[in-house]
Structure 1
Amino acid sequence: MITEDADADLRRLAADPRFPHGDAARRAIRFRARGSVADLVAIADDPHPCGMTEIVFALAGTARPWLNWVPMPAEAITGAADRVASRRAKGEAVHVSRSRLSQAEPATAMIAARRLLGPFELEIAAFPEPDLRRPLRRGRYAVWRYDGEWPVPVAPAPPEAAVRVLHEVAEETWPSMLSGYLQAAPLGALSLGDLLGLLGHLPEPPATPRWQNLARSRPTYWYRLMQPWVCLGLLRHAEHEPWATSTRREVLVDLAFGVEDWVSDAALFALVTAAYREPAVRPEVRRLVRARLDAGRAARRAGRNVTIGRSLAELMLVTPGRTALDRIAARRFGRLS
């Protein structure tokens, strides 16, 4: 029986001589103790995969960023929006007409704040170089363009049917990225335009008790959570196409290296998920994650705030094939102990 204590469950499975995946359980224990991504990859590569190996993989990643949950927003503007929403939920009549940021923050964070607070005037004191409004690489696909200081979605708004699919799939975080990939199949059946529209138009959360409760404390988290789910849908889009020349690969890479945003690490997360599923793509994905991490490091060295920095670092740490130097760079950049 699986309980809510992942470490105890793994020790029990590893000690059970009748359990056919004892080596996977032992590797999961080592991963949780040491963080060696090779152990996590070995679980995904079990020569006799079954539902139980997925459970062991999920236990290994329990309570770990990206493996089991999406990092919380780290922006000043979303923190302010959450505080105002919390006060309003308590019955306070709080109105925001003006706010100020010392530096620009990611597009999704700004739109999520406006969605919660209503129209307000925002003064952004600086757009330090490298300007986060400029894509790191020019590609065919994008979620945002900028009209001066404010981001504008590139794709049209998605239809209600697409929003319903998102609500059905994305109400919760995933037990693991592997199970998240499976759960995202209905999103993968949507059109590419609808998926890009979901990323930029930020549909409201589902009307469930979980999100009604979070609306009283951290309502911006829905917008943080939904984009990785949509990117898993992008990973499942047109899966018949060979990976190297596929639309899904091109879109995810373009988004990962587009304007700096929550979409960036959401797209990278989908690529890392692909790497766990497909050994052949691991070298490329590792290079992509490291390149995006290095771009963030360069921006910070130039004096610009990188609010997704810790999240990028956490992704690097769980990327198949990451090296010892990758680990050092990620921990320093993410300021991880």
Structure 2
Amino acid sequence: MFGDVDQELRRLADDSDFPHRDTARVAQRFRAGGRAADLVAIVDDPHACAMTDVLFAMAGAQRPWLNWVPMPSEAITNMADEFGSRIARGEELRLGQAGLSAAEPPSAIAAARRVAGDFEVGIGAFPAPDIRVPLRRGDYRIWRYDGTDPVAAVAAPSPEAVRVLHAVADQPWASPLSGRIQAEPLGDLPMDDLLGMLAHLPGPPDTERYRFLAVDSPTYWYRFLQPWVCLGILRHREQEPWATSTRRRVLVDLAFGAEDWTSDAALFALVTAAYHDPARRREVHDLVRARLDAALASHRLVTIEVSLARLMLITPGCTADDRAVAAAAIARAATDDEEPAPAPPPKRRWWRRSH
């Protein structure tokens, strides 16, 4: 979007005629050190104007959550991406069933089915803490389980809601600040439609970008749409006082509901709220840290753990301790990825060609 961001920031910081050169230097500092306090300093500029938002976007360019949503990392989505890519290239394949050694987020399973068809998923185990059990009981949920199978607990969205989603979410946000503004049409939708899109996962818009992703990473749209919808929830009934608002209750319930992609998507919307309104920052910081701590305390793989850690690093109020905990989570995941995977046991083929 900005070409060479670092070069442009250097130019602005050195331009004596540029009225926001000090803020450009703060943006440079964030890109060098990644400290959330620098992002806060940009957005809290006492002389803020439209250029402040541009500098905030430049600071966060090509950074997870600030400019793009982390890619899916689940085994089920890796399988579906390979399968869906082959279908998009013209192969005639049909997936009958797939097996998981342990449960994965329901949105990941739903996305895999949207890409590869309504195949049967066998789940070997639900290790503790059970992924199906919310961390906190709330009033809003989008998933229930029929035994081991996740099922949408809300009605499907209206066609109009899907149309609005496609219009709003055609491209990534330049920054959370601009994303919040762009999401306003989603906020005008009924809450039932917003929740319905989180669980029923409408397909992508028919654009060049998503035609490319259909070949490259077909499950990514489904990961990408949920933070957009959560930004819509953030804009829902904004006249309600924040502390008792429906939008706050929904986002907190999703963040601490059954472990899912919507957990970090909802937290992303809350982090966006914290940048927009300083009065929300302490609460949002504590929510993000509590959700990250819960992931780290699990004695099993939590596929959204790294994503939660990256959110922690950009949350207003992020402390040195928060940074250390988040960095350790990211480093641990990188180490796990480098270790050679054991050879899988022999098993029968999980897909078959159509004739």
* TM-score exceeds 0.5: yes
Tell me the CA shift for residue 308 of structure 1: 0.5
Structure 1 match to 2:197 = 198
Tell me the CA shift for residue 3 of structure 1: 4.0
Does residue 291 in structure 1 map to residue 290 in structure 2?
yes
SS of corresponding position for 1:103? coil
Q: Give the partner amino acid of 1:316.
A: M
Structure 2 match to 1:317 = 313
Q: Give the partner amino acid of 1:219.
A: P
Does residue 210 in structure 1 map to residue 209 in structure 2?
yes
Does residue 101 in structure 1 map to residue 100 in structure 2?
yes
Name the CA distance, whole Å, in 2 between partners of 1:237 and 1:271: 13
Q: Give the partner amino acid of 1:188.
A: G
Q: Give the partner amino acid of 2:318.
A: R
- Matches of residues 151-170 of structure 1 in structure 2 within 5 Å? 151-170=150-169
Structure 2 match to 1:179 = 178
Tell me the CA shift for residue 189 of structure 1: 0.4
Name the CA distance, whole Å, in 2 between partners of 1:42 and 1:191: 35
CA contact (8 A) 1:103 1:125 kept: yes
Q: Deviations over 1:224-264 (max 9, x none)?
A: 00000000000001101111111111110000000000000
Identity, in percent, stands at 62
- Matches of residues 22-61 of structure 1 in structure 2 within 5 Å? 22-61=21-60
CA contact (8 A) 2:137 2:257 kept: yes
Tell me the CA shift for residue 20 of structure 1: 1.0
- Where in structure 1 are there 5+ consecutive unaligned residues? none
Q: Give the partner amino acid of 2:191.
A: L
CA contact (8 A) 2:2 2:58 kept: no
Tell me the CA shift for residue 23 of structure 1: 1.3
Tell me the CA shift for residue 119 of structure 1: 2.3
Tell me the CA shift for residue 95 of structure 1: 2.1
Count matched residues.
333
Does residue 81 in structure 1 map to residue 80 in structure 2?
yes
Structure 1 match to 2:322 = 326
Q: Deviations over 1:203-229 (max 9, x none)?
A: 010011111111011110000000000
* TM-score w.r.t. length of structure 2: 0.92
CA contact (8 A) 2:183 2:228 kept: yes
Q: Give the partner amino acid of 2:192.
A: G
Tell me the CA shift for residue 200 of structure 1: 0.8
Name the CA distance, whole Å, in 1 between partners of 2:180 and 2:6: 24
Name the CA distance, whole Å, in 1 between partners of 2:90 and 2:288: 44
SS of corresponding position for 2:95? coil
Question: Residues 3 and 260 of structure 1: is their aligned pair in 2 closer, same or farther, counting only changes over 3 Å?
Answer: closer
Name the CA distance, whole Å, in 2 between partners of 1:19 and 1:63: 24
Name the CA distance, whole Å, in 1 between partners of 2:266 and 2:142: 11
SS of corresponding position for 2:145? strand
* TM-score w.r.t. length of structure 1: 0.97
